[in-house]
Amino acid sequence: MYSALSNKDLLFQISDRTDKKAFGELYKRYHEKLVSFALYYLPIQEEAEDVVSDMFVNLLKKHVLLKDIDNFDGYVYFSVKNLCLNRIKKNKHIANFFTISPEMDHMGASERSHPLNQLLNNELREFYNELIERLPSKRKLVFKMIKEDSLKIAEVAKLLEVTEKTVKKHLELAIKDLRLGIQGYLEINGKHKKVIEQTRKIEKALV
């Protein structure tokens, strides 16, 4: 039941009815991806998980206001970022390790599905999700934030403290990798009559 609700509906349930199951569903949707995002700033898994836990605790404390948040995805990402930066300032042992580099590969798997999945059969959907997980860490993070969480390029650039041009480049490369990967899959698996049509649909969904 709760898995079928939109974020807006879940936030309403939490705000008006203090619905624990609704909050649990929200936690399930965001915990893993937010930990992955926190690892962009914090090099220690436990620290990243603590920050995300703190963010969820803060949500609970002001749960009556949640239904008034227009851009929930942006809200939680910026909240986690601020908590990470505050923790870095307070903890010297984190600051000593603090780096933001393309080589960091702490991304976790996401259970949320992309709208493109509506075009894919189960087998191809699984392959598509594997392709996403195999993307370089920065490329994957940008793709998920924009395509799965519907954040704007400007928001992602601000969150990651890079230029919009850099974000666009990561997104373009991610789309190219996924397009080529899916096209190769369709050709190898003998979907010869539908390769061109399916690939065009996929390209349109990705962009």
> According to the 3-state scheme, what is the secondary structure of 55-94?
HHHHHHHCHHHHHHCCCHHHHHHHHHHHHHHHHHHHCHHH
% residues pLDDT > 90 (the chain): 33
Higher-confidence residue of 93 and 101: namely 93
CB atoms closer than 10 angstroms to residue 62: 10
Higher-confidence residue of 140 and 91: namely 140
Asked whether the predicted pLDDT for residue 108 surpasses 50, the reply is no
Tens of pLDDT, residue by residue over 117-147, are 444 456 667 778 888 889 998 898 899 888 8
% residues pLDDT > 70 (the chain): 73
Q: Under CATH, what is the fold of the domain 115-206? A: Arc Repressor Mutant, subunit A (1.10.10)
* Contact present, 12 and 67 (Cβ < 8 Å): yes
Domain borders along the chain are 2-95, 115-206
Distances (CA, A) of 130 to 109, 135, 181, 182: 9, 9, 10, 11
Q: CA torsion, points 78, 84, 90, 91, in degrees to nearest 10?
A: -170
Q: What are phi and psi of 119, to 5 degrees?
A: -90, -10
Asked whether the predicted pLDDT for residue 61 surpasses 80, the reply is yes
Q: State in words which class domain 2-95 has.
A: mainly alpha
Q: What is the pLDDT of residue 189?
A: 67
User: For residues 77 and 83, what is the distance between their CA atoms, to the nearest angstrom?
Assistant: 10
Range of weakest confidence among 51-55, 79-83, 138-142: 138-142
pLDDT band per the 50, 70, 90 thresholds, residue 113:
very low
Asked whether the predicted pLDDT for residue 105 surpasses 50, the reply is no
Q: What are phi and psi of 2, to 5 degrees?
A: -70, -30
